[in-house]
Amino acid sequence: MIRRMFRFEHRTFLKHSMGLQGYEQPRGLKGCVTMSRLIVNGGRPLHGELQIQGAKNSALPILIATLLCQTPSVLHNCPDLSDVDASCSILKYLGCSVKKNGENIVVNPISADKYDIPDELMREMRSSIVFLGAICAKLGRARISFPGGCELGPRPIDLHLSSLRQLGVVIEEDHGWLNCHTNGRLRGTNIVLSFPSVGATENIMLASVTAKGTTTIVNAAREPEIVDLANFLIKCGAKIKGAGESVITIEGVDKIYGCEYTVIPDRIVAATYMAAAAITGGDLTLKGINVEHLNPVFPAFREAGCIVETSGNMLRISRIGKLYPVKNIRTMPYPGFPTDAQAPVMAMSTLACGTSVFIENIFENRYKHTSELRRLGANIKVEGKVAIVEGVKKLYGAPVEATDLRGGAALVVAALAAEGQTVVTGLRHIDRGYASIERDLQSVGADIHRV
């Protein structure tokens, strides 16, 4: 028991000493914690304008990519998130100089010489596995443990490992650790992915930009965040063609150099706030978005009875009449409906006048939020990959807990429309992907605050 208490206190100390945000603070020697929570008094339609933050899923791999450069990089529009802080902490541990000023981050990788990542840092986020390809390409060896983050079910880490092995990385698995080394420079090859994994595609890209020869990724992920990573690398001097398509070709170069780059807007945050506007019967204008990236979610909101208008890098969403059900949403790799938007849109559908059907094709455990939505009065039945949502007339405030990032955002969306007060805990998950969600929602009329 004493040993377990020490591990808890030691891990918590490490998190705070490294400047990570959104974690529960220790209180006393018994391992008690004081948890942050959101207090939401629902029933207020949202009105106004919101500036959408930079994309978490772009910022993280781009931060990792700076490790490969010969000179410093300056990144703009990096969201203030605990996952971004965790990535910066890993870069610092590896020997990089990292300076953060708001949404601007300067990374100088010149002195990076460490090839291992402590288990405590790896456990902070699941995308930490993407460091593997970059470290191997830069230093010729790596030692990391398996990543942490939201428990959404197994992700295809085997795709990462098999792909890196094809590039020439020797990988030995040792009781939860991956010991890796290369025999000289990595070698380009043809890699066929059995699934268009975003993380595996990123790992291959990072490992192969300085490999000898040409690498082709067949069945590559097509997400906008993949294109953003490729654009950053190209600006640094990499030779990449086909990003955003199913086949990506990387011609290895000897060196790449840092650059100044602006991260794309976060399409999932935008979809979350669209769901918040829809469920409350509000009228929101979202600024700084990329309309093309949001095209896969627009049909669901229009089917629900919302008016969605776009102009340049702005969109306006409003709902005046009834909230209608979304008949059939299937999560798919881009350009399909994004799995990360499933939970917020499901929260929206709990108040629709009819039945909505969701089919989750990406992650096994992506319905954890449904039990918490039921605490608010939602009528949801789950069987395997399918969730059936029967709309109810009202939701009622209750204590709920976020168990993952997007599920936590869904609870906030539902709480905005629930009668009475909802208390949301587990904010460390939400803080991984939303830069002060309460501040944004307060600015458009929500009665929400963090204590």
Whichever domain contains 74, its CATH number is 3.65.10.10
Q: What is the mean pLDDT of residues 121-127?
A: 83
Pair of tokens at residue 444: 């458009």
- Whether residue 15 is contained in a domain is answered as no
Q: Are residues 248 and 201 in the same domain?
A: yes
Q: Are residues 278 and 201 in the same domain?
A: no
pLDDT tens for residues 245-259?
A: 999 999 999 999 999
Determine the longest span between alpha carbons in the chain, in angstroms: 65
Please state which of the ranges 84-93, 121-130, 135-144, 219-228 shows the lowest mean pLDDT.
121-130
d(Cα 430, Cα 381) in Å, to the nearest integer?
Answer: 24
Say what the pLDDT of residue 241 is: 98
Say what the pLDDT of residue 174 is: 87
239 is in an annotated binding site: no
| pLDDT over 80 at 26, yes or no | no
Q: Are residues 189 and 243 in the same domain?
A: yes
C-alpha count within 13 angstroms, C-beta hemisphere, residue 160: 24
Q: What is the CA radius of gyration of the chain?
A: 22
Closest CA to 332 of 306, 352, 358, 368: 358
The residues that bridge with 313 in the sheet, in sequence order, are none
More confident residue, 437 or 30: 437
d(Cα 85, Cα 105) in Å, to the nearest integer?
Answer: 11
Q: Are residues 219 and 329 in the same domain?
A: no
What is each CA distance from 121 to 22, 75, 91, 157, 192, in whole angstroms? 15, 22, 10, 18, 30
Of 247, 262, 277, the residue that ends a domain is 262
Name the band, by pLDDT with cuts 50, 70 and 90, for residue 244.
very high
d(Cα 59, Cα 22) in Å, to the nearest integer?
Answer: 18
pLDDT tens for residues 328-377?
A: 999 999 999 999 999 999 999 999 999 999 999 998 888 999 999 999 99
158 is in an annotated binding site: yes
Of 262, 282, 313, the residue that ends a domain is 262
Q: Are residues 281 and 314 in the same domain?
A: yes
Of 239, 262, 285, the residue that ends a domain is 262
Other Cβ atoms within 10 Å of 48 Cβ, number = 12
Q: Are residues 223 and 331 in the same domain?
A: no
Q: Are residues 353 and 408 in the same domain?
A: yes
The residues that bridge with 425 in the sheet, in sequence order, are 401
Range of the domain at 284: 35-53+266-450
126 is in an annotated binding site: yes
More confident residue, 344 or 33: 344
Q: Are residues 203 and 223 in the same domain?
A: yes
Q: Are residues 192 and 293 in the same domain?
A: no
pLDDT tens for residues 178-224?
A: 999 999 999 999 999 999 999 999 999 999 999 999 999 999 999 99
Q: What is the mean pLDDT of residues 34-57?
A: 95
Q: What is the mean pLDDT of residues 113-131?
A: 90
d(Cα 365, Cα 151) in Å, to the nearest integer?
Answer: 7
- Whether residue 10 is contained in a domain is answered as no
Q: H helices within 267-331, ranges in order?
A: 267-280, 291-294, 298-303
Pair of tokens at residue 282: 């509000």
| pLDDT over 60 at 17, yes or no | no
Q: Which residues are known catalytic residues?
A: 150
340 is in an annotated binding site: yes
d(Cα 376, Cα 50) in Å, to the nearest integer?
Answer: 27
- Whether residue 423 is contained in a domain is answered as yes
d(Cα 347, Cα 378) in Å, to the nearest integer?
Answer: 9
Hey, what long-range contacts does 388-391 have (CB within 8 A, 24 or more apart)? 388/355, 388/356, 388/357, 388/358, 389/325, 389/346, 389/349, 389/350, 389/352, 389/355, 389/356, 389/357, 389/358, 390/355, 391/323, 391/325, 391/349, 391/350, 391/351, 391/352, 391/353, 391/354, 391/355, 391/356
- Whether residue 305 is contained in a domain is answered as yes
The helix-helix angle for 198-208 and 224-235 (nearest 10°) equals 10
Q: Are residues 426 and 360 in the same domain?
A: yes
| pLDDT over 50 at 32, yes or no | no
- Whether residue 25 is contained in a domain is answered as no
Instruction: Please work out, in degrees rounded to the nearest 5, the angle formed at the alpha carbon of residue 292 by the alpha carbons of 195 and 354.
Output: 80
The DSSP secondary structure of 290-359, one letter per residue, reads -HHHHTTTHHHHHHTT-EEEEETTEEEEE--SPPPP---EEB-STTSB-HHHHHHHHHHHTTSSSEEEEE
Say what the pLDDT of residue 34 is: 54
pLDDT tens for residues 378-435?
A: 999 999 999 999 999 999 999 999 999 999 999 999 999 999 999 999 999 999 999 9
Contact 362, 393 (CB under 8 A): no
Q: Average pLDDT, whole number, for the chain?
A: 91
| Residues sharing a CB contact under 8 Å with residue 115, sequence separation 6 or more, in sequence order | 94, 135, 139, 140, 141, 142, 143
72 is in an annotated binding site: no
- Whether residue 287 is contained in a domain is answered as yes
Q: Are residues 132 and 77 in the same domain?
A: yes
56 is in an annotated binding site: yes
pTM (2 decimals)? 0.91
- Whether residue 11 is contained in a domain is answered as no
157 is in an annotated binding site: yes
Handedness of CA 413, 417, 418, 423 (dihedral sign): positive
Name the band, by pLDDT with cuts 50, 70 and 90, for residue 444.
very high
pLDDT tens for residues 139-176?
A: 999 999 877 545 444 445 889 999 999 999 999 988 88
Say what the pLDDT of residue 3 is: 38
- Whether residue 229 is contained in a domain is answered as yes
d(Cα 103, Cα 101) in Å, to the nearest integer?
Answer: 6
Name the band, by pLDDT with cuts 50, 70 and 90, for residue 86.
very high
What is each CA distance from 3 to 10, 16, 121, 177, in whole angstroms? 10, 20, 20, 22
Contact 307, 323 (CB under 8 A): no
Contact 180, 169 (CB under 8 A): yes
* φ, ψ dihedrals at 21, nearest 5°: -110, 160
Domain count, the chain: 2
Q: Are residues 285 and 187 in the same domain?
A: no
Say what the pLDDT of residue 148 is: 55
Name the band, by pLDDT with cuts 50, 70 and 90, for residue 62.
very high
